[in-house]
Chain A
Amino acid sequence: MHVDLVLNGELTAIECADNELILDVVRERLGLTGTKRSCDMEVCGSCTVLLDGLAASACTTLVAEADGKELVTIEGLSDGDELNPVQQAFVDHAAVQCGFCTPGMIMSVQALAMDHPDADDETISEYLSGTICRCTGYVKILEAARQVISE
């Protein structure tokens, strides 16, 4: 099938099979490997992307779902070398341990900031509860999220 989308700000046309998933296509065909494969069942949040501004699990979302929509991966957040505010907050708070979950964490906080610009701690936890850090570095991640919301 033919899918037209805006990928990280660029009009993009993709030819794909009906059963192809966003995660496979962005990583293996488009070389955007910031989106990570981990649990592969919508639980861990490592593959979080934004589809028309809403957080989505790339591992379980058909490419067909992106037709006519805007898809943002972690590579689409920064402006050249300039980090976006969520990325900068993660750097400021050293909210990174091994780093594998970090792209998904950043995309989740980006979704949170767009959905709830005045999020309270309960809402921050609600968004982060769907993203898993095996290093258990949640305190710094929470601090980074709070900074994003307060800015």
Chain B
Amino acid sequence: MRLPPFTLHRPRELGELLELLARYGDDAAVYMGGTELLLIMKLGFAEPGHLVDAKSIPELGELHVSADRLAIGAGVTHRRIERHHDVQRALPVLVDLERRIANVRVRNAGTLGGNLCFAEPHSDPATLLTALDAEVELAGPAGRRRLAVADFILGALSTALDPGEVLTHVHVPVPGPDTLVGYERIVFTERPAATVAVVRGPAGARVVVGALGPRPMRVPHAEMRLVEDDIDAAVEATSSAVADTDTEPGADYRAHLAGVLLRRAWSAATANALSVPGAAAPTKQG
């Protein structure tokens, strides 16, 4: 398959990139790893006349790890995240997730920022980042702003990016030692069929189901049950929430899957906690 014709631009600064996006409007697409964009262009689903390659903008290639957060530039590849020792120390669950995305070639080229901007419902990172209360930083004609990942992904292939706006960074809070984090998925082909992320800390719990709807879905009822350490009730609440929103054939199977994945994610989260000295273990195990 051939790509439709386009002009490739390689700005060296963010300002230059924003100018190009303003100049070409709807006819421009930001190009990073190309693992999603080039694919849909080959399939004829998009035909931008201008690709704006953002890989040469130094700011977007930065990856900073501090005690309480990760700042991941939009140009940082999955490979860099999965092989970064400080990320491994700070948030091993993210490294485990990154290692399982697609295949090694896609991870060498593809970026976390690009993954979020594409908003493919079967995205691994979106589910976990929603549960971690991660944020995206955007830059555009009106300046910079931050949005929760949960508010950034609006639906299947749809984000809150305004015209002329670009994602510059992903900011991920690093959970403290008193917070449990787990992520599990089931995968039959290249992309996961169902994903569940769970976080429980002093401020409360998050249960997020991904890939079973147009965007990651929080399950507040399951979160309340987890705060009470009742994993059985949380599993039931998660299955019910999926059954309530899924009207396609096979919904009962997918509802069951979501519950199973929550139980596994919670087991993984508590097992991780038990292996970390000083970390909080739940009072009742699921």
Contacts from A to B (Cβ < 8 Å): 1, 17-21, 24, 40-43, 45, 48, 54-57, 59-62, 64-65, 108, 111, 115, 126-127, 129-131
Give the distance to chain B from A95, nearest Cβ to Cβ, in Å.
19
Tell me whether A19 and B99 are in contact (CB under 8 A): no
Q: Quick check: is B155 within 8 A (CB to CB) of the other chain?
A: no
Tell me whether A127 and B104 are in contact (CB under 8 A): yes
Tell me whether B109 and A130 are in contact (CB under 8 A): no
A55, A60, A61, A129: residue with the most chain B Cβ atoms closer than 10 Å: A60
Tell me whether A48 and B4 are in contact (CB under 8 A): no
| A133 to B7 CA separation, bound complex (whole angstroms) | 36
A55, A56, A59, A108: residue with the most chain B Cβ atoms closer than 10 Å: A55
| A55 to B53 CA separation, bound complex (whole angstroms) | 20
Tell me whether B104 and A19 are in contact (CB under 8 A): no
Tell me whether A56 and B2 are in contact (CB under 8 A): no
Tell me whether A17 and B5 are in contact (CB under 8 A): yes
| A107 to B102 CA separation, bound complex (whole angstroms) | 18
When distances are taken between beta carbons in the complex, the residues of chain A under 8 Å from B79 are 54
A40, A57, A108, A126: residue with the most chain B Cβ atoms closer than 10 Å: A57
What 5 A-B pairs have minimum CB-CB distances, sorted nearest first? Answer: A130-B103, A18-B8, A19-B3, A54-B108, A57-B105
- A19-B103 contact given A54-B108, A55-B108, CB 8 Å threshold: no
Tell me whether A130 and B3 are in contact (CB under 8 A): no
| A64 to B245 CA separation, bound complex (whole angstroms) | 44
Q: Quick check: is B68 within 8 A (CB to CB) of the other chain?
A: no
| A127 to B155 CA separation, bound complex (whole angstroms) | 32
Tell me whether A62 and B34 are in contact (CB under 8 A): yes
Q: 11 A-B residue contacts at CB 8 Å?
A: A18-B5, A18-B6, A19-B5, A21-B3, A40-B42, A42-B102, A42-B106, A55-B108, A60-B35, A130-B103, A130-B104
Tell me whether A45 and B1 are in contact (CB under 8 A): no
Interface string of B1-25 (1 = CB under 8 A from A): 1111111100000000000000000
Q: Quick check: is B39 within 8 A (CB to CB) of the other chain?
A: yes
| A15 to B260 CA separation, bound complex (whole angstroms) | 54
Return the chain A residue nearest B77 by Cβ.
A54
When distances are taken between beta carbons in the complex, the residues of chain A under 8 Å from B105 are 42, 45, 48, 55-57, 130
Q: Quick check: is B248 within 8 A (CB to CB) of the other chain?
A: no
Tell me whether A41 and B104 are in contact (CB under 8 A): no
Return the chain A residue nearest B3 by Cβ.
A19
When distances are taken between beta carbons in the complex, the residues of chain A under 8 Å from B193 are none
Give the distance to chain B from A103, nearest Cβ to Cβ, in Å.
14
Give the distance to chain A from B88, nearest Cβ to Cβ, in Å.
15
When distances are taken between beta carbons in the complex, the residues of chain B under 8 Å from A55 are 104-105, 108
When distances are taken between beta carbons in the complex, the residues of chain B under 8 Å from A126 are 99, 104
